[in-house]
């Protein structure tokens, strides 16, 4: 539905209801996550991996997968950095995500 709305409509899916449910679910997850881990971390993990993946993806599916992988890598690297350097976890994750974003500019861009 998020990739091809017309196809979902033709297949008989209730697109409006599914869109509303998806938006509500996303809003609840973001609101709860902001309370648990903080605004800076959630905002950066929503934006930075997607921006880095966009430069190299050819389709929305590739971008979503790439952003997910980059987000997991940023969290793992940030938590490792936090553990070994005794720094706060949130900012360490944001710095590692930003480093991956900058690395995406160094790597050659895929032809679309």
Determine the pLDDT at residue 107: 85
Per-residue pLDDT of 71-102, as tens digits, reads: 999 999 999 999 999 999 999 999 999 999 99
pTM score, two decimals?
Answer: 0.78
What the block records as the tokens of 67 is: 């952003």
From residue 53, give the alpha-carbon distance in Å to each of 5, 49, 75.
23, 6, 16
Burial 11-28 (b: 16+ CB within 10 A, else e): eeeeeeeeeeeeeeeeee
Label residues 78-98 b or e (16+ Cβ within 10 Å = b): beebbeeeeeebbbbbbbbbe
Q: What's the rounded mean pLDDT across residues 94-111?
A: 88
Instruction: Please give the backbone phi and psi of residue 40, each rounded to the nearest 5 degrees, phi first.
Output: -60, -50
């Amino acid at each position: 539905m998020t990739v091809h709305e017309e196809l979902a409509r033709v297949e008989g899916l209730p697109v409006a209801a599914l869109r509303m449910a998806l938006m509500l679910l996303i809003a609840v997850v973001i609101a709860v996550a902001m309370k648990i881990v903080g605004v800076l971390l959630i905002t950066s993990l929503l934006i930075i991996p997607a921006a880095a993946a966009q430069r190299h993806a050819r389709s929305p599916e590739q971008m979503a997968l790439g952003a997910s992988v980059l987000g997991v890598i940023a969290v793992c690297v940030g938590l490792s950095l936090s553990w070994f350097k005794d720094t706060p976890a949130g900012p360490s994750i944001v710095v590692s995500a930003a480093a991956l974003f900058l690395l995406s500019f160094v790597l050659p861009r895929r032809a679309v």
